[in-house]
Copies of this chain bind each other. A is one copy, B any other.
């Protein structure tokens, strides 16, 4: 089951307390593909400039990532430079050069239009809507966004929400979008505007999936060291949707009343947490180059040991549960 991703394919220069990486692979579509391709075929739509080191994407092509939807435009590739603070929870953007990304108009190739799963990376909501016009009835549409679009393109973003099944975003973003401090209230606000599911990422504090009448929580993986937080959210989305694709659990998932679908969604949150945790263990997408599906499965098993407990309800207490 293939996944179409539309997003940025960028070059990043990153400084963390542990080192520095210059003009390395970055961008939402890149991180997403690196994680999702551990589970399922991925089709990428994006744009790069003449300066892009395309050979460094070979490890993705080797893993069933179809890169034929990446447009090669005249000009510079999208470039971002940032410096993380000591605690790695905050960062300063040192430089952003949009380059060819400034005029990016996603064109979905004909052989990508039947993709059953679509991930709209964090791009202009106008472009996200444009993508949805070009695909044939996907079974599942997921999207990411950020504070910049919440502020500057709110009406367009709300139109995107009407057509999205799963919205993935971080805690500060969902609070800003719904204009309310409580995460549960904020998630409900989003679900009233279209998405059946909202996944709120809380960094080291884990991730929560909100559904209409249930929720699921996965903790942050207890890492010895966070090396570079860039791309963790996109790697999460890749693991989350990749796991759903691998299970073939997408058909009918939006009816949402089958226990098997709930189980698949719960598991997918853990797979996303696992791939997100791998992403931050190295600079750029480095950690994914040698990573295998087995490595991910082992980390998911560790998540299970971290949170599983036995509990027997007595007869008296099973009422009302």
Contacts and interface: CB of A to CB of B under 8 A. Distances in A.
| Copies of the polypeptide in the assembly | 2
- Main secondary structure on chain A at its contact with chain B? mixed
Interface in A187-225: 202, 205-206, 208, 214-219, 222, 224-225
Contacts of A225: 182
A93 interface: no
Contact of A267 (B184, B298, B309): B309
A51 interface: no
Interface in A149-204: 181-184, 202
A306 B215 contact: yes
A310 interface: yes
A317 B274 CA distance: 15
Given A206-B219, A217-B219, A321-B298, A224 B184 contact: yes
A280 interface: no
A320 interface: yes
Contacts of A205: 202, 205-206
Interface in A286-305: 293-294, 297-298, 300-301, 304-305
A314 interface: yes
Nearest to A316: B294
Given A181-B87, A314-B297, A309 B222 contact: no
A270 interface: yes
Contacts of A94: none
A47 to B, nearest CB: 37
A316 B298 CA distance: 10
A102 interface: no
Contact of A306 (B216, B301, B308, B313): B216
A263 interface: yes
A310 B267 contact: yes
A269 B225 CA distance: 25
Interface in A250-309: 263, 266-267, 269-270, 293-294, 297-298, 300-301, 304-309
12 contacts: A184-B224, A208-B222, A215-B306, A217-B222, A217-B307, A266-B310, A297-B311, A298-B313, A298-B317, A298-B321, A301-B311, A304-B309
Interface of A: 86-87, 181-184, 202, 205-206, 208, 214-219, 222, 224-225, 263, 266-267, 269-270, 293-294, 297-298, 300-301, 304-311, 313-314, 316-317, 320-321
